[in-house]
Amino acid sequence: MSEEGMAGTGKGGLRPDLVVAGAGGGLAGALRAAELGLRVLVVEASPHYAHGNNTAMSTAMVPGAGSRWQTEAGIDDSPEIFLADVLAKTKGMADRAVSHALTEVGARLVTWLADYVGLPMELATDIPYPGHTNFRCHTVPGRSGAKMLAGLIAKADADPRIDILAPARLVDAQPADDGLAAVIEFPDGSRETVDCGALLLATNGYGANREMVERYIPEIAGATYHGSAESRGDALRIGLGLGAQADCLDAYQGHAALAVPYATLLGWATMMHGGILVNNEGRRFGNESRGYSEYAAEVLAQPGGTAIAVIDDYIFEKCRPFDDFRATVEAGALKWAESVEELADLFGLDAAKLAATMADARASSEEGKADAFGRSWWPHTLSGRLAGVRVTGALFHTQGGLRVDEHAAVLRQDGTRVGHLYASGGAAVGMSGHGASGYLAGNGLLPALGLAFLAAEDAARLARSAS
Ligand SMILES: Cc1cc2nc3c(=O)[nH]c(=O)nc-3n(C[C@H](O)[C@H](O)[C@H](O)COP(=O)(O)OP(=O)(O)OC[C@H]3O[C@@H](n4cnc5c(N)ncnc54)[C@H](O)[C@@H]3O)c2cc1C
């Protein structure tokens, strides 16, 4: 919906109970709030949000522990096991309240996405993501964030309690009687102030703000940024201006398998099904099963800042369910070779060194024991014809942000709430601790959808108790 016909205050000119800034994961908050009877105004900065934001760009993996899909698949999982995985991956540095709340809500969230939003959710049981004890990532066919977001948008468009105002940017927020005043700017520079009961900052982090990335995460500042152009740090600026505390600002999700120069996602399923990464000298340089986020910096540290992912026909077939993988193939990034020598030739590598690397990897896989890099995950031994894809390490999104409680309410340093203000997704502190290595698959979308969902429930509860 465009701004035309809008008084800026929701359908029928009524004051919105909740303003949601950002139509990515924030739409889960808008929908849940409307389901609970609130009037919602969504303000979205980009006219291209349906394809341009991070939720749309994602592989749509949402973890939920103890879901009905897991029960049907005979998987015995629980929020406690999931929380233990989060704490192990983050070395205990993840925000406890947020991690606890999100590991608890995950199963309820994916069930709601299926039953209320109508998304065709399924459990991904073909790809074991590093750090997850169990198969618990739920997704949609094609593993496409754009398809997931399309379902959320369609449901919101059909809801008489929700207005989506786009393009319109939240530029400021101020305290107001019984709520907040959201200052919204339109593309022509005009501004409107909207009084609302509560405000959810769902505008993502600051990945597109080069100056902030250099300040908070210098180790990844030189990497390709592969995320929403609108992740400019607006939530952080607005929240801090209202007295909030921020935490874990050095946390980020990197990815070690962005195809160059195509800027498409090869995906880590390639490695988890038995592929390897070699550098421009034809050598492996680490344990690929450790995690794609932290591996981004390791790829960037190699000569030329790139590496070659090596897979075979078996892995190719295993990765076909991913839209991103197929797009990478269609872009022409993947080159087949009948022999190791031909593969070396295609990528300008030393054939003898690559042959030695391949022999070592195959031996480790066949022996099934940890190699020199500590990799013991070898579900398949590379064989037959081989394919290579040149990849680089990329920054996908920042993970730290405004400190929130278990209801996604934004907190001050003293632990009290910044009244009526909530944050979700890249705008909030998240569950990845510090740096890149705390990222578990799903740590992006679960805080995006889950914190928005929890914020909506809290805002509805407070609205009920105030009336
Ligand atoms: C290629 C890729 C694959 C990924 N795969 C996964 C995955 O499988 N699982 C997972 O958990 N995570 C994944 N992630 C991470 C995940 O996509 C993000 O963590 C998550 O989508 C962030 O959601 P969000 O709502 O915070 O931000 P977004 O989805 O980016 O939404 C924020 C919205 O706010 C708008 N906006 C910005 N500023 C303003 C403003 N001032 N006013 C109004 N609107 C504004 C933006 O235009 C945007 O539409 C992936 C990321 C990438 C790039």
The string of pLDDT tens digits covering residues 382-427 is 999 999 999 999 999 999 999 999 999 999 999 999 999 999 999 9
Distance 351 CA to ligand 1 centre (A): 41
Residue-wise DSSP of 171-239: EEEEEETTEEEEEEE-TTS-EEEEEESEEEE-S--STT-HHHHHHH-GGGTTSEE-S-TT-SSHHHHHH
Q: 30: which 2 tokens?
A: 């808008």
Give me the CATH topology for the region 253-395: Flavocytochrome C3; Chain A, domain 1 (3.90.700)
Q: 355: which 2 tokens?
A: 């042959």
* Position 312, amino acid: D
Q: 291: which 2 tokens?
A: 């995690």
Q: What is the pLDDT of residue 13?
A: 63
Nearest partner of 278 among 355, 372, 363, 339, judged by Cα: 355
CB-based contacts of 308, cutoff 8 Å, min separation 6 = 277, 278, 279, 280, 347, 349, 388, 389, 390, 391
By the 8 A CB rule, do 444 and 396 touch? Answer: yes
Check if CATH label 3.40.190.10 holds for domain 11-208+399-466.
no
3-state secondary structure (DSSP) of residue 17: coil
Closest atom of ligand 1 relative to the 446 alpha carbon: 11
Distance CA 288, CA 324 (A): 19
Q: Is 268 in the pocket of ligand 1 (CB under 6 A)?
A: no
Distance 24 CA to ligand 1 centre (A): 6
Give CATH 3.50.50.60 domain extents, the chain. Answer: 11-208+399-466
Q: What is the pLDDT of residue 445?
A: 98
Q: What is the pTM of this model?
A: 0.93
Closest atom of ligand 1 relative to the 25 alpha carbon: 25
Nearest partner of 283 among 302, 261, 304, judged by Cα: 302
Q: What is the pLDDT of residue 178?
A: 86
Q: Is 227 in the pocket of ligand 1 (CB under 6 A)?
A: yes
Distance CA 82, CA 60 (A): 18
Q: What is the pLDDT of residue 428?
A: 98
Q: What is the pLDDT of residue 11?
A: 45
Please identify every stretch of the chain with a pLDDT value under 70, giving residue numbers as ranges: 1-13
Q: Is 395 in the pocket of ligand 1 (CB under 6 A)?
A: no
pLDDT digits (tens, 9 = 90+) for 319-349: 999 999 999 999 999 999 999 999 999 999 9
Distance 53 CA to ligand 1 centre (A): 5
Q: Is 375 in the pocket of ligand 1 (CB under 6 A)?
A: no
Q: 131: which 2 tokens?
A: 């750090």
By the 8 A CB rule, do 58 and 149 touch? Answer: no
By the 8 A CB rule, do 267 and 284 touch? Answer: no
Q: Which of 46, 51, 53 to mutate to test the pocket of ligand 1 (most atoms within 8 A of CB)?
A: 53
Distance 304 CA to ligand 1 centre (A): 29
Distance 372 CA to ligand 1 centre (A): 37
Q: Is 397 in the pocket of ligand 1 (CB under 6 A)?
A: yes
Closest atom of ligand 1 relative to the 203 alpha carbon: 34
Q: Which of 31, 172, 204, 443 to mutate to test the pocket of ligand 1 (most atoms within 8 A of CB)?
A: 204
Burial class (CB in 10 A: 0-12, 13-18, 19+), 157: exposed
